[in-house]
Structure formats: structure tokens, C-alpha cells
Structure 1
């Protein structure tokens, strides 16, 4: 594939994400922080016994930044820290019921915005896009 086409794909991918984020931010009661928090909570929910360092790796941020994020989630009652029974030095993260509600509400908002974005595509375009994304994601599993 010519380099210009790769560059175009990368630009389009980032532009699409920016458009999605901008649309979300225009939504009432939604901010980029909500998106990051929902992503973090979803990761913790899907990965029992998650540690702060796991969150840092997932988000590609430093451990101190992850700790700050987790502190905020804990203060909001969305996550709780528990000491590991096998190793008291390890502190596992768990999503609270309020955290699960926050995830559900955020996902509903994101789906609504994404559906609006995909209105311009017909069913075949949507199927093709799903197949393309699946190929890309399968390459990174």
C-alpha cells in the first residue's frame, strides 16, 4: 500500500475519533473525562484483580497518572480498592454498583452519538466497516 494511502488512513482514523469525541462533548452532561473514566471502569470490570499498574498500561499513561485517576474514581464512589488476600502489598481494584451504572449510562450516550455518525452509511458499508475493523483488531490480539 502506498505511503500516502497509509497516511490518509491514519489521518482519517484520528479525524473520526476527534469527530466522535467532539460530538460527545456537545452532548449535555458529557465530557472527555467521562469517556476516560468509562474506559477505565470497563477495563477494571472485565479484568478482575486489576492493579493500578494494569490501568496505567491499558491507558498508556504513567503509574502516578493512573493513581490520580483511580483516586478520583474512588472519591466518586465508582471504584474501590481492596488488599489482595494472597499478597497484602497488592491492591486490587473493583468497580462498585455506582461504577457499573456510570458505565451503562456512558455507553448509552456513546452508542446514540455513534449511531448518528453512521447514519450516512448503508447496510453494506456498515458490514464492510465492521469487517475492516475486525481484521485490524484481530491483528493485535
Structure 2
């Protein structure tokens, strides 16, 4: 087998692992990986603003608003006007949202992060370089994407 085939197999395995995790998460928690990550971020801090989420996840305000709306409709997140700045909205995870976070399967990206951070600095730099090059080869460097390993829920504009 040549290197081209080996590289395509490795890429397919990554995509497949992400897809399988997404299916498991949807089945067990009824959430997408991105929705779970939003809940995790808000739960970690106790409260968050849409702007903070947008900045932290590296996606547009419109993308975050759509995610917040879905989580609010599911009763997992609530919005509350800030007492100090009436123009600002604070987000808080409901009791049901906390239960979803606690019961969700171990996120795929947590396993990746743990192993990536255990690598030597030069290995991390090489990995980032290779992944950025791969994104460029697939004309994907301009796609709006959060640091969440997921498939699906991508709009026609490439937003998560």
C-alpha cells in the first residue's frame, strides 16, 4: 500500500471516529458534541455570555445564538439579563443541563487534548503544521469551526 492510500485511510479513520462519537453522544445524551461543549463551558464558569462563548469556541455570534436557542428550547440553558449591564445577557445551565453534562460519554476531544498536551513541544508544533496543511489541501482553512471534534450541524456557509 502506498503513502497516499495510507494517508487517506488515516483521514477516514479520524472522520469515522468523530462520526461514531457523535452518534453515541446523540443516543446517550440527546446532544451534539458542539451543544455539549457549550453546556460544559457555561457549567465550568457558572455563567457565561454569548460573546464569551463565541470567542472561546472560535465561531460567530450567529452560530452561538443558534446553539443557545436550541439548548434553551431543550430546557438545558437559561438566559438572564445582567444586573450590572442591562444590555448583556448571562447564560446559565439548568439542573437538567448539568445532568446532561455529568451523564454524557467522555468527549472525544478530551482524549485528544490529554494525549496532545502530553506530547513534546516539537511534536505538537509538527502536528499543528500537518493538520493546517491538510486543511489547506482540502480548501478548508476558511471554514468557521470550533475546537470541537464533531460532524454534522454544518450550515451551507460552513458554520458549525
TM-score, shorter chain, exceeding 0.5: yes
Higher relative contact order, chain-length normalized (CA < 8 Å, sep 6+): 2
Residue ranges of structure 2 left out of the alignment (5+ in a row):
1-6, 126-160
Does the 8 A contact of 1:50 with 1:92 survive in 2? yes
Supply the distance in 2 between the matched residues of 1:131 and 1:90 (Cα, whole angstroms): 37
Deviations 1:24-57, CA, capped at 9 Å, x for gaps? 1443715995211111100011123411011111
Q: CA deviation at 1:59?
A: 1.8
Ranges of 4+ aligned residues in structure 1 off by more than 4 Å: 14-17, 30-33, 129-132
Number of aligned residue pairs:
112
Q: Which residue pairs with 2:19 in the alignment?
A: 22
| TM-score normalised per structure 1 | 0.62
The whole-number CA distance in structure 2 between the counterparts of 1:32 and 1:86 is 35
Maintained 8 Å contact 2:22/2:32: no
**Which residue does the alignment assign to 1:102?**
100
The 1:130–1:59 alpha-carbon spacing in structure 2 relative to 1, beyond 3 Å, is closer
Inter-CA distance 72–33: structure 2 relative to 1 (3 Å threshold): same
Structure 1 residues not aligned, in runs of 5+: 1-7, 119-128
Matching of residues 1-141 of structure 1 within 5 Å: 18-27=15-24, 29=27, 34-106=32-104, 109-110=105-106, 133-134=117-118
* TM-score in terms of structure 2 length: 0.55
> Which whole-Å CA distance do the structure 2 matches of 1:26 and 1:82 have between them?
32
Once superposed, what is the RMSD of the aligned Cα atoms?
Answer: 3.5
Q: How far apart in 1 are the matches of 2:120 and 2:82?
A: 36
Distance 1:132 1:79 in 2: 31
Structure with higher helix content: 1
